[in-house]
Structure 1
């Protein structure tokens, strides 16, 4: 049976020609209460980010960096207006960066792009007293793999002189692949050269010494096995780390990120759960690792 998200999108697309589901939720997304600034975090056409700045931002509010998915082969920041608006509606400055994808690059080059974007945000987004705002990393699908690996394998941000433990207040993975070896599909074998594959698995870097983690997975996901989230949660707990796992009954892969959009928030409380996770970190200061 089609999920609510798929059913809604299907009906609307039948009335909208070639519109995508993202086009439709973006069309229904409010343009008020925030402004969007277009910034370059590094030279190159895939090194831009959209910065969603709410009309009102609390002095100590963290910045959300949302990393979209696309199977490491596609994606565009403009598609995720609904996600930027979602977090901005809760009072968080939100950065949505582009990054290079296959075939232009392979793993780990897109990791370095994401690390550069996070470093740019850390350098440019300050509290009223001039201190860097802490960062909450949020990623969906391939973007969740990138976000989680940035937080758990600390060398990417260290190379940008942006230490994880002083910068990343928490990390949220939505429907992410964290433990996906061996690779079965040829297209992913091209994205991840064989010698790099062990370093692509976030689960291999789980430890006690990491920021708090929130994992979200839909039990109806047939694109990324929800077992990835369950296994990572178990591994982090085994290591003595801090992790929450939220599972949403019957929600599929695209539906999970779609529930950030205002018209679809009734499907699953993903935004409320992320907001609660962020608020639970309020008042904490660096280092954010144990």
Structure 2
């Protein structure tokens, strides 16, 4: 078990609730779980950001374990892959591996750079999975908050997969958790998180629509499960509800589920290995087997 993570310094988180979440996620992710093999800080390139953690079932899985690639949140300006490890025991019990990559953060790496980083991470992770008893043809993308936004955009931009080394048949589904699906705002209030997107996250203001998964839903080519909290932020609730309306007649299989949680609770709830979110994942996996 890890006593203390060695994390690079980052700007302060914007609200106390985010600080509480970060502490809880790190505390739950220290490891030492039965049934889980921990492979931390696997390098896939020379950059400090080119690392991922991989947690695999200790029990052999016929054909190799399915893999959930989970992107951390943090508003694109903060966050660590070490926030995600606590999901490993629940996934390993289902014969599923968890990969948690990192990516460069804004404002140094503005959109689309962090999306391209995340795409490359998926391609690089898939190239290494067979070494660890995992199935590189069975990838399920997920993430929380900004990580959910990134996971959704990867799933919705198959035109970018080849350049990132992603096999077009490998992504079997996407499950954003409290994903921010719409970055467009006609008049973001000064000092708001919406204004922060334009000041720190986007390279150009006009990129707000291209950076919004909501505007790419017509290109959905894999099963999609959107989950968010009934007490979530207004922009998360609104964008997911709008996505649900747009996907009403989708030919792809979709799931929509809300939980009695706030924005940070929708991730921390997954500390419970019996949580219903894992049932949605199981349902998606069965449908794509």
TM-score by length of 2: 0.81
| Residue 206 of structure 2 is aligned to residue 195 of structure 1 | yes
1:169 aligns with 172
Structure 1 residue 223: Cα displacement: 6.0
Equivalent residue in structure 2 for 1:236, among 228, 247, 270: 247
1:214, 1:245 within 8 Å by CA — same for their partners in 2? yes
Structure 1 residue 244: Cα displacement: 1.0
Equivalent residue in structure 1 for 2:123, among 105, 119, 132: 119
Equivalent residue in structure 2 for 1:33, among 32, 35, 38: 35
2:97, 2:134 within 8 Å by CA — same for their partners in 1? no
**How many residue pairs align between the two structures?**
261
Any idea what SS the aligned residue of 1:178 has? coil
1:62, 1:135 within 8 Å by CA — same for their partners in 2? yes
The change in CA–CA distance for 1:129 and 1:93 in structure 2 (over 3 A counts) is: closer
1:279 aligns with 286
Q: How does 1:1-290 map to 2 (within 5 A)?
A: 20-26=23-29, 31-37=33-39, 38-56=41-59, 57-126=61-130, 132-164=136-168, 166-182=169-185, 184=188, 185-189=194-198, 190-192=200-202, 193-207=204-218, 210-222=221-233, 224-248=235-259, 250-262=260-272, 269-282=276-289
The change in CA–CA distance for 1:74 and 1:223 in structure 2 (over 3 A counts) is: farther
The change in CA–CA distance for 1:79 and 1:132 in structure 2 (over 3 A counts) is: closer
**RMSD of the alignment, in Å?**
2.7
Structure 2, gaps ≥5 residues long? 1-16, 189-193
Greater fraction of residues in strand: 2
Farther off after superposition, 271-280 or 194-203: 271-280
Rounded Cα–Cα distance in structure 2 between residues aligned with 1:277 and 1:86: 16
Any idea what SS the aligned residue of 2:248 has? helix
1:60, 1:127 within 8 Å by CA — same for their partners in 2? no
Rounded Cα–Cα distance in structure 2 between residues aligned with 1:41 and 1:48: 6
Rounded Cα–Cα distance in structure 2 between residues aligned with 1:79 and 1:131: 24
1:244-270 deviation line (CA, Å, top 9, x unaligned): 10111x2111101101113xx57x522
Farther off after superposition, 200-209 or 133-142: 200-209
Rounded Cα–Cα distance in structure 2 between residues aligned with 1:127 and 1:280: 26
TM-score by length of 1: 0.81
Rounded Cα–Cα distance in structure 2 between residues aligned with 1:127 and 1:77: 21
Rounded Cα–Cα distance in structure 2 between residues aligned with 1:68 and 1:130: 21
Any idea what SS the aligned residue of 2:130 has? coil
Rounded Cα–Cα distance in structure 1 between residues aligned with 2:253 and 2:77: 31
